[in-house]
Structure 1
Amino acid sequence: MLKLPNHTALKEWSSVIAALARGEQVLLIRKGGIADSNFGLEATRFYLFPTNFHEGGASPAATVPITHWCEAVHTWQIRDLVTLYRLEPLVMFDRATLEQRYRFRSDQAVNVIAVRTFALPRPIEVRMNEQYAGCRSWVSLDEEIDTEGSRPILSDTELQARVQAVDALLAAAV
């Protein structure tokens, strides 16, 4: 059994996970959840724990499907909105969502993380528990997840080209 060296999972919108899974996006844009004091990269390899944006009192499902995991390959910190807007063509967020991320805890930088996304060979249903609830970025999964047979969504060459494109966009903003 191959598994990540930890049980760490990043809670992320289901729609963002879907974009990562389709290879449409390689960036995560984070500032942390309401329950976090700030955002930090707790692990360089982590599972993706799907969430829905503020479900408005909906009852949580009994299980959550874990279908992908990521490896952080590059990070940037962005401190101005104009620079953040430059990433709009590379992410599923529109300007309003990017601005909302920027304005939340306006004294903190926006963390942009380029990730290599891997599809697990089959979805793993993780039993929901209280520790996974709440608006926080990171959770520690109780289950061991076998990653053997995972496949990268993008080739090394394609991922490297996308990361270089982000570097070029951000360098042009300086």
Structure 2
Amino acid sequence: MRVTSSVALKEWAVLCAGLDAGEQSVLVRKGGIREPRAAGQAPTFTPEHRGFWLLPTWFHAREPGRDRDLAPAARARLPQVLADAPPSGRLHLSLWTEVDAAVEVHDLARLDRLGDAHGLARECVADRFAYRKPGLWVLFLRTYRSGQVIDIADRAEYAGCHSWVDLAEAVAGDVEPVLTDREHAARVAELRSALGDA
């Protein structure tokens, strides 16, 4: 299918690789210190878009010791993901995602039921959960892969601790689903059942 959008969600490149490989169908989100905020409230992530490009990020992945935040499968992917990083000043888009469901979870025990389906270590999830106000968003995603990598220029406004990026120009691409309809439906049903959201 053909998609065109200037909206992108920033995510660790190693977790994007898990979605690309069909090994993940879920992300957990808290948001960064530069997220939008309501008056008198802490900054928070909101799942405000249904479809968007994934913008792989490399900053945290390159920090010494941050591999401890990853589940074993994601940690094993990390060396290759780092080797495949685009040159400085460039960004590569290749994944389009659509949100099947977004669930705000305020019980860490429910998140534990997902195991490492999100690609993160349990301790990392617990830390994110407890940060500022307890809770996390769980995004159930349908991932699509572009037939070719889309190369764009990095820009200063894309940097920083915020989830959503308005790209300088709309990006168009032909994408195909990573999982078949049947595989995707079964995966999401299993994960939502585990979370207690089915």
**What is the TM-score with the length of structure 1 in the denominator?**
0.88
Instruction: State whether structure 2 residue 141 is matched by structure 1 residue 120.
Output: no
Question: Helix, strand or coil: the match of 1:84?
Answer: helix
CA contact (8 A) 1:7 1:141 kept: yes
Q: Aligned to 2:53, which of 47, 51, 58?
A: 47
1:106-117 equivalence runs, <5 A: 106-107=133-134, 109-117=135-143
Moved more, 139-148 or 156-165: 139-148
Residue 75 of structure 2 is matched in structure 1 by none
Instruction: State whether structure 2 residue 155 is matched by structure 1 residue 129.
Output: yes
Residue 78 of structure 1 is matched in structure 2 by 105
Q: CA deviation at 1:136?
A: 0.5
Measured in 1, the distance between the counterparts of 2:116 and 2:164 equals: 27
Q: Which runs of 4+ in 1 moved over 6 A?
A: none
**What do residues 83-116 of structure 1 show as CA deviations (whole Å, max 9, x unaligned)?**
1111124221111111121112234x31001111
Measured in 1, the distance between the counterparts of 2:151 and 2:91 equals: 5
CA contact (8 A) 1:9 1:140 kept: yes
CA contact (8 A) 2:116 2:122 kept: no
Residue 10 of structure 2 is matched in structure 1 by 11
Residue 118 of structure 2 is matched in structure 1 by 91
Measured in 2, the distance between the counterparts of 1:155 and 1:87 equals: 21
2:133 alignment partner AA: S
Provide closer, same or farther for how the CA distance between residues 91 and 2 of structure 1 changes in structure 2, counting only shifts above 3 A.
closer
Gaps of 5+ in 2: 36-42, 64-86
Instruction: State whether structure 2 residue 25 is matched by structure 1 residue 31.
Output: no
1:68 alignment partner AA: L
Q: Percent identity?
A: 34
Q: CA deviation at 1:145?
A: 2.0
Q: CA deviation at 1:170?
A: 2.0
Residue 63 of structure 1 is matched in structure 2 by 90
Instruction: State whether structure 2 residue 178 is matched by structure 1 residue 153.
Output: yes
Residue 193 of structure 2 is matched in structure 1 by 168
Measured in 2, the distance between the counterparts of 1:79 and 1:53 equals: 28
Moved more, 88-97 or 129-138: 88-97
2:54 alignment partner AA: L
Measured in 1, the distance between the counterparts of 2:91 and 2:18 equals: 18
Measured in 1, the distance between the counterparts of 2:170 and 2:102 equals: 27
Q: CA deviation at 1:53?
A: 4.4
CA contact (8 A) 2:143 2:178 kept: yes
Gaps of 5+ in 1: none
Moved more, 150-159 or 86-95: 86-95
Measured in 1, the distance between the counterparts of 2:168 and 2:54 equals: 14
**What do residues 48-90 of structure 1 show as CA deviations (whole Å, max 9, x unaligned)?**
001124356xxx9211111111010112111011111111242
CA contact (8 A) 1:25 1:91 kept: yes
